Amino acid sequence: MADYDLVIRGGTVGTASAVFDADVAIAGESIVAVGRGLPAGKREIDARGRLVLPGGVDAHAHIEQLSGMGVMNADTFETATGSSALGGTTTVVCFAAQHKGKSLTRVVEDYHALARKGTIVDYALHMILADPTETVLKEELPPLVKSGHASIKLFMTYQHTKVDDEQLLDTLIAARENKALVCVHAENNGMISWMGRRLVERGYRAPQYHAVHHPRLCETEAIYRLCAFAELVDQPVIVYHVSTAEGAAVIRDARGRGIKVFGETCTQYLTLTVDDLVKPGIEGAKWICSPPLRQVSDQEALWKALELGDLQFVSSDHAPYRFDDTGKLRAGPDPSFKEVANGMPGLELRLPLLFDAMVAKGRYGIEKFVEWTASAPARMYGLHPRKGSIAIGADADICIWDPKRRTTISDATVHDNAGYTPYAGRTIEGWPVSVVRRGEIVVDDGKLKASAGSGVFLPREAGEAAVPTGRLSPEFDEARNFGARLY
Ligand code: DUC
Ligand code: ZN
Ligand code: ZN
């Protein structure tokens, strides 16, 4: 008699490579058997007519974080990760965000303290470096990477967090030495601030001008520059939240030349457009994010880029700000687009929106849905094989989907602390009705059952993606020919 704690029985299991009918058995926190007619467990979930898919892995979420514009976001770890679990995402990679002059070690400790207290799903941390001094890179970074923080995030724009080209290169080299991965918000800062100043001077203040403020070219240019840096020092990079066809094309071109560059896009760039910014009064501020929302033709190009493997996965870039004087309207009731906090909530609805867009609408199969929302980010960030798949030995992080359930989204149906959702009014098909995290039923028929602090930290070694190609750029060989060593 097998000693299973939980058996999910009679469902259709989906992984990134196959869809098949099977029971899934769990002992303790792990998946221990996948097959038909498994022996009874102490508890059972009847999954007939349901899909049994891995819990989502959202590798880009801002939680209890002071933004690059200096605004505190609206969620605590408890509210963000509670909403995440309700939407089927059982692993979140969020940020320990350094601001200038701060010790990185201290910053990481502080975010762990917040997460330990509140998190409901399992979490890992990317380290945002806003001040990559020699002390930070040489003394603080190595032990932090060794203790499981194997990815670094850099911003090429935003007043409080941007790094310049030399700092970016210094950080890429340090990441290379420590075998860490570097993720980058790639937009040209000068272009953005120049455009913003001229627009506001001429009286263009409404939310819709945010899209003009961040022109498409500022993404194209910054991604190109980042790829050149990655090539120069042979350090893999991940481009965050690619929003344009041209941005994806730059990545494709760089990958074609053997540069190790990867790309993420986000739910909002696949499911919303710039037209959502155009609303009466200040309402459009709810849709202000950076990069801005783009065109339907960009959505098509981003799906294609995912299909071709130029981009590898889809995150939420969850960055919630309330539509009041604590968040979006912090500068007053009628701010210019420049004064509005950038970002929108997205942790809870990432999986349901993408399931609807991909599977329910018949555009892609379940395998691609699982790959882009769970398996690929887990592999990319060193969480595989523990997270991102239904496989023996993996953590039992599982969503039981009702593929036919229709939900009309409203501000009242979401559970984060933003107070609104950019998707209100939309009806979508498919919902993760029950969610298991490390063997525990954390969502039971749409109700949250887990307590704050029950998620755990996931220390990571950098994944395969972080390994350099081993090919230094010709500039390095040339330097050597002249008798110089650059590193
Ligand atoms: N832009 C960012 O760079 N981060 C958070 C959200 C956003 O819109
Ligand atoms: Zn960003
Ligand atoms: Zn972000």
Read off the pLDDT of residues 9-58 as tens digits, 9 standing for 90 and up. 999 999 999 999 999 999 999 999 999 999 999 999 999 999 999 999 99
SS3 51: strand
Amino acid letter, 173: I
Closest alpha carbon to 117 in 89, 83, 78: 78
Decide whether any atom of ligand 1 lies within 6 Å of the 340 Cβ.
no
SS3 109: helix
Amino acid letter, 154: L
Which ligand 1 atom sits closest to the C-alpha of 240? 3
Q: Best substitution site from 317, 318, 338, 344 to test ligand 1's pocket, by max atoms within 8 Å of Cβ?
A: 317
User: Exposure of 297 by Cβ count < 10 A (0-12 exposed, 13-18 middle, 19+ buried)?
Assistant: exposed
Cα(57)–Cα(374) distance, integer angstroms = 5
CATH number at residue 168: 3.20.20.140
Closest alpha carbon to 15 in 59, 46, 55, 50: 55
Cα(465)–Cα(260) distance, integer angstroms = 8
Cα(448)–Cα(436) distance, integer angstroms = 11
Q: Which two tokens stand for residue 49?
A: 């007519």
> Do the domain assignments include residue 312?
yes
Find tokens 């969502």 and name the residue. 443
Cα(439)–Cα(202) distance, integer angstroms = 58
For residue 60, the ligand closest to its alpha carbon is: 3
Cα of 241 vs centre of ligand 2, distance in Å, is: 7
Cα(98)–Cα(370) distance, integer angstroms = 32
Cα(111)–Cα(92) distance, integer angstroms = 14
Looking at the DSSP bridge assignments, the partners of residue 23 are 35
For residue 269, the ligand closest to its alpha carbon is: 1
> Do the domain assignments include residue 473?
no
Does the reported pTM lie above 0.95?
A: yes
> Do the domain assignments include residue 446?
no
> Do the domain assignments include residue 392?
no
SS3 46: strand
Amino acid letter, 487: Y
Which ligand 1 atom sits closest to the C-alpha of 289? 8
Decide whether any atom of ligand 1 lies within 6 Å of the 73 Cβ.
no
481 sits in which H/E element: helix 474-481
Residue nearest to atom 2 of ligand 1 (CA): 290
429, 360 contact by CB (below 8 A): yes
Closest alpha carbon to 91 in 460, 456, 463, 464: 456
> Do the domain assignments include residue 354?
yes
Which ligand 1 atom sits closest to the C-alpha of 62? 5
Q: Which domain holds residue 107?
A: 55-372
Closest alpha carbon to 73 in 37, 111, 39: 111
Decide whether any atom of ligand 1 lies within 6 Å of the 199 Cβ.
no
Under 8 Å CB-to-CB from 103, ≥6 apart: which residues? 136, 140
- What is the sign of the dihedral through the CA atoms of 476, 477, 481 and 484? positive
Based on its alpha-carbon atoms, the radius of gyration of the chain, rounded to whole angstroms, reads: 22
Per the rule left: phi > 0, alpha: psi between -120 and 50, beta: everything else, 203 is left
> Do the domain assignments include residue 96?
yes
Cα(247)–Cα(222) distance, integer angstroms = 9
Which ligand 1 atom sits closest to the C-alpha of 155? 3
Query: What's the chain's length in residues?
Result: 487
Cα(20)–Cα(52) distance, integer angstroms = 10
> Do the domain assignments include residue 242?
yes
Q: Which residues surround ligand 2, an ion (CB under 5 A)?
A: 185
Q: Best substitution site from 219, 239, 269, 342 to test ligand 1's pocket, by max atoms within 8 Å of Cβ?
A: 342
Identify the segments of the chain with pLDDT beneath 50: none
Decide whether any atom of ligand 1 lies within 6 Å of the 320 Cβ.
no
- What is the sign of the dihedral through the CA atoms of 329, 334, 335 and 336? positive
Cis peptide before 385 (omega within 30 of 0): yes
Residue nearest to atom 1 of ligand 1 (CA): 290
Number of domains in the chain: 1
Decide whether any atom of ligand 1 lies within 6 Å of the 342 Cβ.
yes
Decide whether any atom of ligand 1 lies within 6 Å of the 185 Cβ.
yes
Helix (DSSP H) and strand (DSSP E) numbers for the chain: 15, 17
For residue 95, the ligand closest to its alpha carbon is: 3
Cα of 62 vs centre of ligand 1, distance in Å, is: 8
Residue nearest to atom 7 of ligand 1 (CA): 343
Cα of 406 vs centre of ligand 2, distance in Å, is: 32
Q: Which two tokens stand for residue 81?
A: 């990760």
Looking at the DSSP bridge assignments, the partners of residue 314 are 265
Decide whether any atom of ligand 1 lies within 6 Å of the 330 Cβ.
no
Decide whether any atom of ligand 1 lies within 6 Å of the 289 Cβ.
yes
Cis peptide before 432 (omega within 30 of 0): no
Using alpha carbons only, what angle is made at residue 194 by residues 193 and 199, rounded to the nearest 5 degrees?
95
> Do the domain assignments include residue 84?
yes
Q: How far apart are the first and last CA of the chain?
A: 60
- Residue 366, Cβ neighbours under 10 Å: how many? 21
Decide whether any atom of ligand 1 lies within 6 Å of the 176 Cβ.
no
